[in-house]
Amino acid sequence: MNSDNSRIIFFIIILLFFLSSPGGDGVTSQYEFIQLESLKAQFNYEYEAFQDLTYDTNFKNITGLKLAYGDSLRNPELNATYPLPDKDYSSWKSDENYMMLPQHIIDEVHNDVWSYKQTIFPPNITSNLYGKAKLIDNNKYTKIRMPIANFFDSPESFQDEKPAEGEHYLSADERGDAGNHGELRNVTWENGIVDVSIQHLDSVENSLSLSAASFSTSESQFAEEDGHWKILHLNVNFYNKEETEKHSLSAEGIYDIWTGRILIMSQSAKFHSLFAFPHYLADSEKEFNQIKNLIGKYWNATDYAESLTMANLQHLSDEANTKCEYFGFLQLESWNQYTPDQIRMIDEELKWPLGRPINRSELPPIRLAKAVLYSPDCGVSLKLEDVHGPRYELQVRTIRIHLLLGVLLFLGQIYLLLCQMNHTNTPSSVNKISYWCLFMMNLVDGCLAMLYFLASPLLRELYLPLCISAFACFILASVFEIRYMISVYASQVNEQGVGILTLLRGGSEPSTTVNRVIPDEAVISSSLYGRFFFTLIVSIFILLSSLLWPKGIRTVFEYSVLILLNSYWIPQICRNAVKGSDPRRRRHNGYQSLQNGDTNSIPLLWSFIIGTSVLRLVPIVYVFTYPSNVFRHDRDVKFAVLLSLWMLFQLLVLYSQDLLGSRWFLPQHVIPDGYHYHRAVPQSILMEYGSEDNCFVCPICMTDTPVYVEEVKETHKVDIQSYMITPVKACLFDMDGLLLNTEDMYTIALNQMLKIYDKGTLNWDLKLQLQGLPGSEAARKVIDYYDLPLSLDEFDGLNRKHQSVLWPTSKFLPGTFELISYLKAQNIPVALCTSSTADKFHSKTSHLTEAFKLFDVIITGDDPRIPAGRGKPFPDIWQLGLKELNQKYNTSIESQDCLVFEDGIPGVQAGKRFGGYVVWVPHKEAIGLINDQTEILDGRGEMLESLEHFDRSKFGL
């Protein structure tokens, strides 16, 4: 007990260790504490210096702002120290001697980019913009050296308690690499792509990882200054078309609502850009003071320095070591077509939709008229062109509509699947469905459901439509599709381990493989659900990982997966070929019988095939052909056409299988044609046995039955499904309960044994499961069902003791001996195939020896040629019996030419798998308990109350 308690305490400690996290600031050591305090002290010191800054004074000891472009132009190796000899700190001018920009860039910004006069611009510009990026120069400008404080460095060993003092400079190698994050600091391509995400700082959490409450309550304090300025947060990504070289920056910006100017600056451990906004954006002392006041309110409202954490420190360090610093000068395109009141109404309606008349479809996009990016430490200059995108609220609305349309597609798929499930309502029709066809559809739907679930908490504006989509998709995948897959898998589980040629030939060849025990539906259900969720998790992991792969590899992976997952009809085509179906011409001769139906066609409804193909192809075609799709996916019309043609090819093959027969493309010598119960009658047979009016006398109802004759055209209107030609070349019999009354003796013996243990009497529900099973399997079921305190050997010994008294009194059931005698007189080969062991067989029949000599072949359940575990409901015993008959009489009788006589459900199942026509004669007590007779027989047999009622003429006997 003490050992158990110690183990529990140990696991609790380990769990707490892994679940524990550092404090709110993320500090875990003395070294990190000093690091963070040094960063806070640095920001506080620089903020005090910023407070002393005026419109006419220069920057002093602020990180990243110590050198101007002119300083580095005169001395490229100049270190950024304070104070610099001969540097003017008492004045400020907008030229390269004071700013970090070359004069060419300064002139371009003032004369070209920011040349707009005061006009009307939207106050809210939250949006995602996309456009082109063009490299202007990457080697022309002098690079400004920017040091990084040494306290940002990680400790070299666990003994370090205090970061080093001073600062250091980055040394880029010849390739321009910096740090170990693999991002190139230099832009080498000429033309690329840019995407810009703009968010107002009063609507999202800021880059310092503060909670929304920490500044949203103070929104009115710093969100704008007299309706003139707004603080923005921007994410800018620019890369070449092949995505082999990517650059990104996360920056704060200030938006001048009156003129449409936007200034953005990156921030890192080597560049504290927050304090540079007033000088670089203001055109007058008034504007300088407004912006300075805005920065001060922002600083106080967010408690900027004191809210810094180790995560912020690490982020600043990573940005400094792996990326260039950038200035961005953006100019919005004006909205002069609107009045200020109209723009106010547009903003209010987009934020709180109430039906105001704003005509959303006519709203102009947020567009950058001109934009320039410049990096002072990397000397890179870029121009952004044709950068535009819709307002974020409009984009969200469009995505919401697309999601709801997707829900309609899911509902349509559910409806089609329910129609298909209702169509295949018998085991034989379900058996013709391909499990892998459904599996591929299920995998796609399951992945979509999981992606919707993962995205819903991340995209708050789309939470409700994402949840609805996820629910509809999850219901489709995990309820309907999995339920259908379980039924299909259960109907095909006996085919596992069977060779493809054996399946193609209808399973008539004896199986030599050792078979596993067939699991019940509950086991199959749990197995498939486990497989479903495991496959789902692995697939989602691979899909999300692929988003980070290089574009070339990602594109090959994407296209390959799409082609593979849209090949879901290929497994069904193969399954159709395995199961076989007649050409439509053979099934439809003039008209379709209302009584028989089209039972030999492909199992899928054409509405399901075409509807599913269209519903699953439409979203892919939309993504690959519509340039403004919500996923911003590259347009590739050729692939969309190729995928559509591939889908059309699959549909044409399915249609050809329905029209010409499912095996039309296979060589005839590979697939022997199976026996057709509904077939044309040769003219020679008609002339010998038929009548002049092309009819045969039905042996059941003794009336003339018209038949279809290929050579006689006037018979081609006869429904070939309206009659059946039944071949009987051999008869195979079970023994217990069918020929002899030994099943009643089994019941008596078991009741006597159950009475010893006060277990009552044998339940007939259990009895139905025991009939036809090998002795060991039946014993195990009884022991488990009644929880008997016996081993298998003890049970068998006690059972034999009771049975041995009863066997000598066994006798033939009514009609059985007469039927066997008749078949023998008609030279019909007969075989006895019983699950009883040889010694039990002799005990039961020792007084009936002469009668059992009528059988040509006798096979017992312990015959060594039957593999272990291959008793009924497996067909091996019937296959062995037929094989012995063929060897004895040198014949080639096929399984479909045989009648199988059985009394138990496992034996009926074995007979159907064997391929014969089953005559089922259940015990009179069992008849009332059998509610699914039609499903069990599945059109491949019939049920009689007694062999006395067996109509020999029906089978031509």
Query: What are the residue boundaries of the structural domains of the chain, listed by start?
Result: 101-143+190-206+221-390, 396-507+518-660, 676-722, 730-741+810-955
> What stretches of 223-339 show up as alpha helix (H) in DSSP?
277-281, 285-302, 310-322
Q: Are 674 and 896 in contact (CB under 8 A)?
A: yes
Residue with tokens 């004071």: 98
Residue 377 annotated in active site:
no
**Which positions ≥6 away from 498 have C-beta within 8 Å?**
507, 511, 513
224 touches 257 (CB < 8 A): yes
Please name the residues in contact with 815: beta carbons below 8 A apart, sequence gap of 6 or more. 946, 947, 948, 949, 950
> Which pLDDT does position 761 carry in this prediction?
78
Instruction: Quote the CA–CA distance of 758 and 753 in Å, as a whole number.
Output: 9
Q: Closest by alpha carbon to 373, among 361, 362, 387? A: 387
Choose among 210, 232, 220, 215: nearest CA to 300.
Answer: 215
Q: What pLDDT does 204 receive?
A: 38
Helix H or strand E segment including 237: strand 229-239
Longest dimension (CA), the chain: 130
Radius of gyration, alpha carbons of the chain: 42
Cβ-Cβ contacts under 8 Å for 576 (sequence gap 6 or more): 432, 602, 654, 657, 662
Compute the distance between CA of residue 865 and CA of residue 873 in angstroms, rounded to an integer.
Answer: 16
Q: Which residue has the tokens 């078309």?
A: 241
- Architecture of the structural domain at 730-741+810-955: 3-Layer(aba) Sandwich (3.40)
Strand 380-389 vs strand 366-375: parallel, antiparallel, or unpaired? antiparallel
Chain centroid to CA 598: how far? 35
The whole-number pLDDT of residue 176 equals 44
| Burial (CB count within 10 angstroms: exposed 0-12, middle 13-18, buried 19+), residue 652 | exposed
Q: Which of 305, 404, 230 is nearest to 40 (CA)?
A: 305
Q: From the candidates 202, 445, 719, 736, which is the catalytic residue?
A: 736
| Residue 516 to residue 493: CA distance in whole angstroms | 10
Per-residue model confidence (pLDDT) at position 178: 41
Nearest CA among 880, 871, 882, 881 for reference residue 909:
871
CA distances, 303 to each of 25, 44, 353 (Å): 14, 11, 34
- Distance, in Å, from the CA atom of 594 to the CA atom of 721, rounded to the nearest integer, reads 10
**Distance, first Cα to last Cα, the chain:** 76
Rounded to two decimals, what is the model's pTM?
0.66
Q: Return d(Cα 957, Cα 951) in angstroms, integer.
A: 9
**CA angle (794 as vertex; 788, 795 as ends), nearest 5:** 55
Q: Using an 8 Å Cβ cutoff, are 259 and 117 in contact?
A: yes
Q: Kindly report the CA angle at 201 between 199 and 204, in degrees rounded to 5?
A: 75
Q: Residue 451 and residue 677: Cα distance in Å, rounded?
A: 50
pLDDT the model gives residue 183: 44
Nearest in space to 63 (alpha carbons), one of 266, 272, 370? 272
Helix, strand or coil, per DSSP, at residue 270: coil
Sign of CA dihedral 183, 186, 191, 194: positive
Q: Which tokens hold the place of 594?
A: 């209302």
Instruction: Measure the CA–CA gap between 168 and 153, rounded to whole angstroms.
Output: 10
Q: Which of 202, 256, 734, 938 is catalytic?
A: 734
Known catalytic membership, residue 863: no
Is 899:919 a contact under the CB 8 Å cutoff?
Answer: yes
* Cα gap 521→532, rounded to integer Å: 16
Give the chain's residues under pLDDT 70: 1-8, 10-12, 14-24, 172-185, 202-226, 494-520, 582, 584-601, 668-679, 684-685, 688-689, 699-702, 726-727, 765, 768, 771-775, 928, 931-935, 939, 953-954, 956-957
